[in-house]
């Protein structure tokens, strides 16, 4: 329930849309109820008058009820159409709001808190869970409140004619709309969770299969992967079958209760009629009214099923959104740095209180405009040093100063204004080369983009493509070679003359000719800005003035390579 309250609170800015949809939904139900009740009474009343004297026929007001019948018929059509438009419009607005909210929560958590989440899993979470959450209004909120409001009003109307009939209707509505589905929702909660889980697992399997197809085929593992996918599908179908059985039983029971309520109301009214306490025309009124009243609770079984899924999705989304921040954001705007020198004194960093130190007592001065190389084997703490400087991870001991201020006064967004990173992991978005470059500088002109590509030695390649700058790079840059992808990262750095440039294994995966050319063209870019180059290869270090060696989190002085 706590999750649902939080969800409703998130939706608060849209409450006008939400209440408007609810009012229209009630009007629709009541209009149909009015149409059927009035028609039933009208037929019986006219039939009874028809059997009576001619004078009675003349005295009977035919036109008011006839007009009211047509009024209810028209009202129902109009309000139903408006209700659907309003509720769906509201749902999409809620969906957009949820996505933005979630992204805003997620963004500061990256990359530290996200490392344990798999990409395919995240996709499932965001697309499916957020979609599920946005259905809360349409599938739960509106049907539940409509059933409650309209149900009470209709039972109140029945009470004018017969208390037992009103009670029977109210109990019938409650059992059909509340009892049967709640029971099956309770029974189906686990199956609902299983269905969401199995669906996410199956998606991960499919992504494995598609992305690893070459290896699966050549290693003869394709049949095993097909079998794994088939087994995953069976598990998903199994969870869905459980839900289908429950919904079938719930539907059958609900139908049964509805019909027996009709039977009870008819019996109650018949008894009162036989005893002479009820007008004859009121029996068909109540009978037809009962049938119409159940329209209000028809969507409730689905609503309760959604409720289970929504709570599951909400729990996961909120859990992720509430993950602790790796770095506490600075309380006030970042100070203006006095110069760009970076000074580390006895700095230690680890990723968890029980994890080994990734950096231990590191003391390092990086004067403004200096060119420093850090070398060392894999796992020596080179990446941790970058994460520390970019404010992605917090250091636990020592002091770091940037431009004369404590580094803790800067958030990762502040640091990104001063630092550009060229990395093996620089991500290429599934869009055009142009958009991937504009990421570095949204205001760059076409000439600037081409200049950046020239410097990055990619211009010839892009020019040769039929679509030029508008060539799509494929998922994760799949349509480019490793070298070409790196050069896009270089071109981005050209577009972004920040005081610091961090080269994170800049030539990893490049052949040596390309590496040589890459470094040759990189060299002029380094002039006038500070450079921190982290690599285990020798060639990039030749561009650095000082080189340190990092091993097991500790920094050792290292002779300048010549």
Residues 163-222 that bind other proteins (CB under 8 A): 199, 202-222
Strands 546-551 and 554-558: antiparallel
Residue placing its CB nearer to other proteins in the complex, 73 or 153: 73
Q: Which of residues 458-497 bind other proteins (CB under 8 A)?
A: 461, 474-476, 478-479, 481-484, 492, 496
Name the minimum Å distance from CB 248 to other proteins.
Answer: 3
Helix (H, G, I), strand (E, B) or coil at 241: helix
Q: Does 533 bind other proteins (CB under 8 A)?
A: no
User: Can you tell me which of 539, 548, 552, 554 binds other proteins, judged by CB under 8 A?
Assistant: 539
Other C-beta atoms closer than 10 Å to the C-beta of 64 total 8
Which residue, chain included where needed, has tokens 């991870």?
393
Contacts of 561 (CB under 8 A, 6+ apart): 538, 541, 542, 547
CA gap 307, 136 in Å, rounded: 7
Q: Which is nearer to other proteins, 148 or 273 (CB)?
A: 273
Choice from 33, 42, 294, 306 touching other proteins (CB under 8 A): 42
Positions 247 through 306 that interact with other proteins (CB under 8 A): 247-249, 251-253, 255-256, 259-260, 262-263, 266-267, 270-271, 273-274, 280-281, 283-284, 287-288, 291
Q: Residue 83 contacts by C-beta under 8 Å, 6 or more apart in sequence?
A: 21, 24, 25, 27, 28
Which residues from 95-134 bind other proteins, rule CB under 8 A? 95-96, 99-100, 103-104, 106-107, 110-111, 114-116, 118-123, 126-127
Give the Cα separation of 503 and 372 in Å (integer): 10
Cβ atoms 495, 452 nearer than 8 A: yes
- Rg value, the chain, Cα: 35
Instruction: For the segment 424-453, give every residue that binds other proteins (CB under 8 A).
Output: 424-431, 439-440, 442
Per-residue DSSP letter, 480: S
Beta carbon nearer to other proteins, 145 or 439 = 439
Contact pick of 234, 345, 406, 470 for other proteins (by CB under 8 A): 234
Scanning residues 65 to 84, which ones bind other proteins (CB under 8 A)? Answer: 65-66, 69-70, 72-74, 76-77, 80-81, 84
* CA–CA separation, 495 and 488 (whole Å): 11
**Helix intervals (H) in 162-179:** 163-174
Q: In this structure, are residues 261 and 293 in contact, taking their beta carbons and an 8 Å threshold?
A: no
Q: Which stretch binds other proteins (CB under 8 A): 5-13, 141-149, 533-541, 544-552?
A: 533-541
State which residue, 99 or 554, has the beta carbon closest to other proteins. 99
Q: Which of 39, 132, 176, 372 binds other proteins (CB under 8 A)?
A: 39
DSSP codes of every residue in 406-422: EGGG--HHHHHTTEEEE
| Piece in contact with other proteins (CB under 8 A), picked from 186-194, 348-356, 402-410, 534-542 | 534-542
Q: Judged by CB, which is closer to other proteins: 129, or 148?
A: 129
Least distance (Å) between residue 362 CB and other proteins? 21
Name the minimum Å distance from CB 285 to other proteins. 10
Q: Rounded to the nearest 10 degrees, what angle do helices 446-455 and 482-494 cross at?
A: 130
Nearer to other proteins, 372 or 412 (CB): 412
Which segment (141-149, 162-170, 313-321, 505-513) binds other proteins by CB under 8 A?
505-513
> Residue 231 contacts by C-beta under 8 Å, 6 or more apart in sequence?
none
Q: Pick between residue 307 and residue 422 the one whose CB is nearest to other proteins.
A: 422
Put the strands of the sheet holding 500-504 in their side by side order. Answer: 419-423, 500-504, 530-534, 371-375, 546-551, 554-558
Q: Using CB under 8 A, which residues numbered 325 to 354 contact other proteins?
A: none
Scan residues 375-394 and list those touching other proteins (CB under 8 A).
Answer: 377-379, 390, 392
* CB of 515 vs other proteins, minimal distance in Å: 8
Q: Nearest Cα to 342, choosing from 397, 392, 410?
A: 410
Tally of residues, the chain: 562
């Amino acid at each position: 329930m706590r999750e649902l309250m939080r969800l409703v609170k998130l939706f608060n800015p849209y409450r006008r849309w939400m209440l408007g949809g609810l009012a229209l939904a009630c009007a629709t139900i009541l209009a149909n109820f009015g149409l059927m009740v009035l028609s039933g009474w009208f037929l019986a009343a006219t039939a009874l008058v028809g059997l009576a004297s001619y004078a009675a026929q003349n005295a009977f007001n035919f036109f008011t009820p006839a007009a009211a019948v047509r009024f209810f018929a028209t009202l129902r059509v109009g309000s139903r159409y408006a209700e659907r438009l309003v509720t769906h419009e509201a749902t999409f607005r809620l969906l957009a709001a949820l996505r933005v909210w979630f992204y805003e929560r997620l963004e500061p958590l990256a990359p530290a808190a996200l490392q344990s989440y798999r990409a395919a899993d995240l996709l499932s979470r965001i697309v499916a869970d957020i979609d599920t959450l946005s259905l809360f209004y349409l599938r739960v909120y509106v049907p539940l409140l409509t059933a409650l409001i309209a149900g009470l009003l209709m039972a109140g109307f029945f009470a004018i004619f017969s208390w037992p009939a009103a009670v029977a209707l109210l109990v019938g509505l409650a059992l059909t709309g509340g009892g049967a589905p709640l029971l099956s929702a309770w029974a189906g909660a686990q199956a609902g969770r299983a269905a969401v889980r199995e669906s996410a697992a199956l998606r991960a399997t499919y992504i494995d299969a598609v992305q690893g197809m070459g290896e699966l085929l050549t290693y003869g593992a394709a049949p095993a992967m097909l079998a794994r996918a088939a087994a995953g599908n069976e598990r998903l179908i199994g969870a869905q079958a459980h839900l289908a059985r429950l919904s079938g039983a719930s539907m059958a029971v609900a139908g049964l209760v509805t019909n027996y309520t009709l039977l009870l109301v008819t019996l109650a009214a018949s008894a009162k009629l036989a005893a002479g306490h009820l007008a004859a025309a009121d029996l068909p009124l109540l009978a037809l009214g009962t049938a119409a009243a159940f329209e209000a609770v028809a969507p409730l079984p689905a609503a309760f099923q959604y409720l289970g899924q929504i709570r599951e999705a909400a729990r996961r989304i909120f859990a992720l959104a509430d993950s602790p921040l790796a770095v506490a954001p600075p309380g006030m705007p970042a100070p203006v740095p006095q110069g760009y020198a970076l000074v580390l004194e006895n700095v230690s960093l680890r990723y968890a209180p029980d994890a080994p130190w990734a950096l231990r007592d590191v003391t390092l001065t990086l004067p403004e405009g200096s060119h420093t190389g850090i070398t060392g084997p894999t796992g020596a703490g080179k990446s941790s040093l970058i994460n520390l400087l970019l404010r992605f991870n917090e250091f636990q001991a020592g002091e770091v100063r940037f431009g004369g201020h404590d580094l803790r006064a800067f958030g990762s967004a502040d640091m990104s204004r001063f630092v550009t990173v060229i990395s093996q992991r620089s991500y290429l978005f599934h869009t055009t080369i142009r958009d991937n470059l504009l990421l570095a500088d949204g205001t760059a002109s076409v000439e600037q983009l081409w200049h950046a590509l020239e410097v990055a030695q990619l211009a010839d390649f892009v020019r040769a493509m039929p679509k030029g700058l508008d060539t799509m790079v494929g998922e994760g840059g799949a349509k480019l070679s490793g070298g070409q992808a790196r050069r896009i990262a270089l071109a981005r750095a050209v577009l972004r003359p920040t005081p610091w440039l961090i080269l994170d294994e800049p030539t990893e995966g490049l052949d040596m000719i390309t590496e040589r050319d890459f470094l040759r063209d990189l060299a002029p870019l380094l002039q006038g800005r500070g450079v921190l180059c982290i690599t285990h290869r020798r060639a990039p270090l030749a561009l650095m003035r000082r080189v340190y060696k990092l091993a097991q989190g500790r920094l050792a002085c290292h002779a300048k390579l010549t």
